[in-house]
Amino acid sequence: MSFSPLRPAGLLSVLLLAASPAVAQEKAFQEKTFQDKAVPLSKGDVQLSLAPVVKRAAPSVVNVYATHVEKRSARSSAMDEFMRRFFGEDRPGGSGRPGGAPGERAQRSLGSGVIVDGSGLVITNNHVIADMNEVKVSLADKREFEAQIVLRDPRTDLAVLKIKTPADIAPMPIGDSDHLEVGDFVLAIGNPFGVGQTVTQGIVSALARTQVGSSDYQFFIQTDAAINPGNSGGALVDLQGRLVGVNTAIYSQSGGSHGIGFAIPASMIRAVVDAAKTGGSLVRRPWLGARVQSVTPDIAESVGLDRPTGVLVASMQAKSPAEEAGLKRGDVILSIDGQNVDDPEAFGYRFALKGITGTAQFGILRGTRRQTIPVKLGPAPETRPRDALKVKTRTPFAGATLVNTSPAVGEELQADLPEEGVAVSSVEDGSLANRAGFKKGDVIVAVNGMPVTSTKDLDRLTQRSFGLWEVSINRGGETLTSVFGG
């Protein structure tokens, strides 16, 4: 495509067009429209403000200050003091705590939160308070309270705090995120960059966004309201002043807002808050006992679907709710209790909200026939004790926490695990296990040719001195073997 400069002939064409009947008709329509408009008679006729919504919602949004205080040896403390004098309080890896007590090292985190219950419950992001042991909450009116961490849910990146001495607080009602539509106006309220409570306005840009990568359940509300670091845990509010999401992530190449922010929907927030209200320290979710995968265009065509939608049942565990309900390998799950599921992320999100009692109705396609089958809801069973092992001896496993496998462990780690085995549940950054390449969800199969079926087996082996460690693991169904020095 090329562009040419305007010429006098173009002007002639415009003049001829202006004299046409269609243009005359358009001009008459515009004149009539202008005549129909009325002169504003009051301030309300010309003023549109979101201030009433902000006044209703802002008192419920709080600042969250989290600190991890670590006791240190006198020698380390002296070295920190030497480094502080030369490089300042906030040097990387320093105390980060001006005026901190000698022998202490502190890491700090700053974020936002929302009061969601009159008893003093506050919802925030788990990454705001992860690894922290001291938390304070500052209200919009500058009052400050100590808070207790009552529930952490890393799988949703949500956490629930409880203000220790609540008084005259304003909880925000939790709305229904399932009724949001693209184009709805929303407000984001939080504490970006620690400058103080800030309100930004935008619209819902998209729903059910996946592949964001900040939690196990990928089903985010996308908004163009400006969200920046420090907004994490803050409120996404509808025009009725209800909480419809918790701001959790942004898409940015510079660290600032580019108009693409993501919020955890209110339906998931409600499930986490309800768990905290009942005194739970974790959120219990239903177990299906089946592995599902995306429906590709080829699969959709082969089963008679006009587009790729739903999830394909790829495998099932014996005696699982999926098997007992009569699901079969190759079934396509299209809906849960009448709500469509388009992909594995949407399926995981919808199923996780169903609780651990009663049944859920699965709409499935088997061959060319659609049918509905009831699936019993219940938590994944602990078929044997976890017997968690934290390896401290100087071995390739040092810094890893290992547990006996079970359906409950597999559900938490989001991995297909054998009935008997030892799974890696966590790995400390910078540890020998981290440097050896172990990952969460790996299953230790054998060490130096000796099978490992329990943490007791592995504990005995780590007490021995080997010149070389030959370790076989199962990762995603593939067996890998590596050799490490002793």
* Residue 157 bears catalytic tag: yes
Find out whether 96 and 142 touch, Cβ atoms under 8 Å: no
For residue 380, give the 3-state DSSP assignment.
coil
Cα–Cα distance between 46 and 35 in angstroms, integer?
Answer: 18
Side chain identity at residue 320, one-letter code:
S
Does 232 carry a binding-site annotation?
yes
End-to-end CA distance of the chain: 67
Find out whether 187 and 236 touch, Cβ atoms under 8 Å: yes
Alpha helices by DSSP H, 93-232: 126-129
85 by Cβ neighbours in 10 Å (0-12 / 13-18 / 19+) ranks as exposed
Catalytic entry in 112, 205, 232, 425: 232
* Residue 342 bears catalytic tag: no
Does 231 carry a binding-site annotation?
yes
Cα–Cα distance between 442 and 14 in angstroms, integer?
Answer: 72
Does 157 carry a binding-site annotation?
yes
Distances (CA, A) of 22 to 16, 19, 32, 34, 63: 12, 9, 16, 19, 60
Does 230 carry a binding-site annotation?
yes
Q: Which of 168, 169, 65 is nearest to 116 (CA)?
A: 169
Does 127 carry a binding-site annotation?
yes
b/e per residue 2-12 (b: at least 16 CB within 10 A): eeeeeeeeeee
Which residue carries 């992320």 as its tokens?
345
Catalytic entry in 95, 117, 127, 224: 127
Find out whether 258 and 251 touch, Cβ atoms under 8 Å: yes
Question: Which region, left, alpha or beta, applies to residue 141 given φ > 0 means left and ψ of -120 to 50 means alpha?
Answer: alpha
* Residue 68 bears catalytic tag: no
Alpha helices by DSSP H, 48-146: 51-57, 74-87, 126-129
Q: Which residues are annotated as a binding site for substrate?
A: 127, 157, 230-232
Residues identified as active-site = 127, 157, 232
